[in-house]
């Protein structure tokens, strides 16, 4: 299998299949342009002439929720895996008296969080689009959620977050980047010691360096446009979230992050406190370097340590950052999710279990990974099976694991020469 070119990388993502987006109608005239400033273009499904905008599509059963869809309200069935995972994570958290589904569309996430998790008490479904709010409300009734346990609101998310209302979990699932909502997300929660956030970014092309200028502008970071771009992009997103959190005295504690299809998902705890906030800000000041010639890579905890001459081949290395230099997944959280998974017959256990186990194995390893296809082409080696290289490196006493970021890559603390030694010469 040929290795993807960097220009294809943002879209390629990890081992799983390609995506299609089923989206709302272009004819959503009721939303003024300036009301949803953040909405980036999404692939829209052509509306058939005989299909009216408010005509229901067939219902979908997803997890424990029955979801009625409408042609003009966004629903992407391919995000099911992401919703499965988020709802599973929600089930491992302490009691959540008040949950906000901040970009609810049909209400799919809020419905699932409430129906699948006894620790969720009340859900607020919020969307800027009136049709979405009508649909979320009728979906809440369709699923027999008691009236006292939900409410719907048509509003701009930033406006609700600015009211000072407290939520124990806030779901942010926008079109494109979450950055326009991070300041308000971090400013709210006054008086709380801890709370949880679930944040999606679908602007992976920006974070992965296909549009470097946009990455500078939106994330104040230089992306790495190479085969390690998915981890680099996720770490850029986390650094941006961390700066927003720290400035409001929150420590950011990622519990599980994933790179899947066209999106990154961050599931994290926020903990109030100046000391933690300082650590969070410092952790967001790391840098990545990668040699495009021999593929050597490193992460540095600060700009002061940054070296750009490759220690292996002497060529100039590319740098990316600032990035989050800390953990992007917490083993205990993942173990809790794996345990809970066996109690959820409605989740496709195979894929979810495999992804969680892969992340559990890799998450305490060093930053970045080696793409075996790229190594093979640069160094004229035979492409080995990733699990064989992992096995041999472990036998030799190194940390080694597969990575959920790419099916053809491995994460290891072995040096480049040690990895190459496990790959036969062509
Ligand atoms: C990607 S969709 C959400 C999908 C949904 N969470 C799901 O899992 O099916 C984004 C939604 O955000 C809404 N939206 C866009 N900008 C908004 C804003 N500023 N405040 C509130 N909702 C907004 C859109 O109307 C759209 O329904
Ligand atoms: Zn080099």
Q: Is the pLDDT of residue 69 over 90?
A: yes
Q: pLDDT at position 29, please?
A: 29
Q: Each residue of 20-53: pLDDT tens digit?
A: 222 223 333 222 333 222 222 233 232 333 445 5
The residue-averaged pLDDT of 231-259 equals 98
Angstrom distance (rounded) from CA 323 to CA 8 = 22
Give the ligand whose atoms come closest to the C-alpha of residue 291: 2
Cis amide bond preceding 322, omega within 30: yes
135 closest CA partner among 60, 78, 56, 62: 56
Q: What are 229's two structure tokens?
A: 């771009």
- Which residue has a Cα nearest atom 27 of ligand 1? 105
Mean pLDDT to the nearest integer, 347-370? 95
Q: Determine the pLDDT at residue 57.
A: 81
Please write the tens of the pLDDT for every residue from 169-207: 999 999 999 999 999 999 999 999 999 999 999 999 999
Q: Does ligand 1 come within 6 angstroms of the Cβ of 103?
A: yes
- Which two structure tokens, joined as six digits, stand for 243? 């700066």
Tell me the two tokens of residue 235. 């770490």
CATH (one of 3.40.50.720, 3.30.56.70, 3.40.5.90, 3.90.15.10) for 370-426:
3.30.56.70
At 404, the pLDDT band (50, 70, 90 cuts) reads: very high
User: Hey, is 98 helix, strand or coil?
Assistant: strand
Confidence at residue 305, expressed as pLDDT on a 0 to 100 scale: 85
Mean pLDDT is lowest, of 47-51, 101-105, 354-358, 373-377, for: 47-51
Phi first, then psi: what are they for 166, rounded to 5°?
-100, 140
What are the tokens at 336? 């809790």
How confident is the model over 240-252, as a mean pLDDT? 98
Section 346-374 average pLDDT: 95
CATH superfamily of 6-323: Vaccinia Virus protein VP39 (3.40.50.150)
Q: Which atom, in ligand 1's list, is nearest to the CA of 31?
A: 25
Is ligand 1 within 6 A of the CB of residue 371? no
Query: Does ligand 1 come within 6 angstroms of the Cβ of 116?
Result: no
Q: Where are the domains of the chain?
A: 6-323, 370-426
Kindly identify the ligand whose nearest atom is closest to the C-alpha of 417. 2
Work out the average pLDDT over 363-391: 95
Count of CB atoms situated within 10 Å of the CB of 138: 16
DSSP 133-185: HHHHHHHHHHTT--GGGEEEEES-HHHHHTTT---SEEEE--SS-SHHHHHHH
Ligand 1 atom with minimal separation from the 200 CA: 1
Q: Can you count the helices (H) and strands (E) in the chain?
A: 15, 15
Q: What is the mean pLDDT of the chain?
A: 88
169 Cβ neighbours under 8 A, 6+ residues apart:
90, 93, 96, 98, 99, 100, 113, 120, 195, 196, 197, 198
Instruction: State in Å: Cα 315 to ligand 2 middle.
Output: 5
Residue 53 is predicted with a pLDDT of 58
Q: 105: Cβ below 6 Å to ligand 1?
A: yes
Q: How far apart are CA 52 and CA 59, in angstroms?
A: 16
* Ligand 1 site, residue 129, Cβ cutoff 6 A: yes
Q: Note whether 306 and 323 are within 8 A (CB).
A: no
Ligand 1 atom, smallest distance to 180 CA: 19
286-305 tens-digit pLDDT: 999 999 999 999 999 999 88
Cβ atoms of residues 75 and 42 within 8 Å: no
């Amino acid at each position: 299998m040929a290795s993807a070119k960097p220009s294809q990388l943002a879209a390629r993502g990890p081992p799983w299949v390609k995506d299609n987006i089923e989206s709302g109608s272009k004819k959503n005239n009721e939303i003024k342009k300036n009301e949803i400033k953040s909405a980036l273009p999404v692939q829209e499904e052509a509306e058939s002439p005989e299909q009216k905008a408010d005509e229901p599509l067939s219902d979908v059963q997803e997890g424990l929720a029955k979801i009625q869809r409408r042609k003009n309200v966004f629903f992407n069935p391919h995000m099911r895996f992401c919703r499965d995972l988020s709802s599973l994570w929600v089930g491992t958290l302490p009691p959540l008296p008040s949950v906000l589904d901040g970009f609810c569309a049909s209400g799919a996430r809020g419905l699932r969080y409430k129906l699948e998790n006894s620790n969720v008490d009340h859900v607020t479904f919020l969307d800027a689009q009136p049709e979405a709010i009508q649909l979320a409300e009728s979906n809440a009734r369709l699923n027999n959620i008691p009236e006292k346990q939900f409410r719907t609101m048509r509003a701009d998310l930033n406006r609700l977050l600015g009211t000072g209302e407290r939520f124990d979990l806030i779901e942010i699932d926008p079109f494109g980047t979450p950055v326009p909502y991070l300041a308000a997300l971090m400013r709210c929660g006054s008086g709380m010691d801890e709370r949880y956030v679930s944040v999606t970014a679908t602007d992976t092309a920006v974070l992965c360096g296909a549009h470097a200028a946009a990455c500078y502008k939106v994330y104040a970071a230089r992306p790495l446009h190479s085969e390690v771009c998915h981890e680099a992009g996720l770490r850029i997103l986390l650094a941006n979230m961390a700066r927003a959190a720290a400035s409001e005295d929150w420590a950011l504690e990622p519990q599980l992050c994933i790179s899947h299809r066209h999106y990154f998902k961050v599931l994290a705890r926020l903990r109030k406190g100046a000391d933690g906030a300082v650590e969070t800000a410092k952790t967001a000041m790391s840098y990545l370097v990668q040699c495009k010639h021999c593929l050597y890579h490193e992460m540095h905890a600060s700009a002061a340590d940054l070296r750009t001459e490759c220690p292996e081949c002497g060529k100039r290395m590319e740098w990316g950052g600032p990035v989050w230099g800390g953990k992007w997944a917490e083993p205990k959280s993942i173990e809790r999710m794996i345990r809970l998974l066996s109690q959820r017959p409605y989740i496709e256990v195979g894929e979810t279990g495999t992804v969680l186990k892969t992340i559990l194995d890799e998450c305490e390893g060093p930053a970045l990974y080696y793409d075996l296809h790229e190594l093979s082409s640069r160094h004229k080696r035979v492409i080995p099976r990733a699990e064989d290289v992992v096995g041999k490196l472990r036998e030799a006493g190194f940390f080694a694991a597969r990575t959920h970021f790419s099916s053809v890559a491995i994460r290891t603390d072995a040096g480049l020469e040690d990895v190459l030694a496990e790959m036969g010469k062509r």
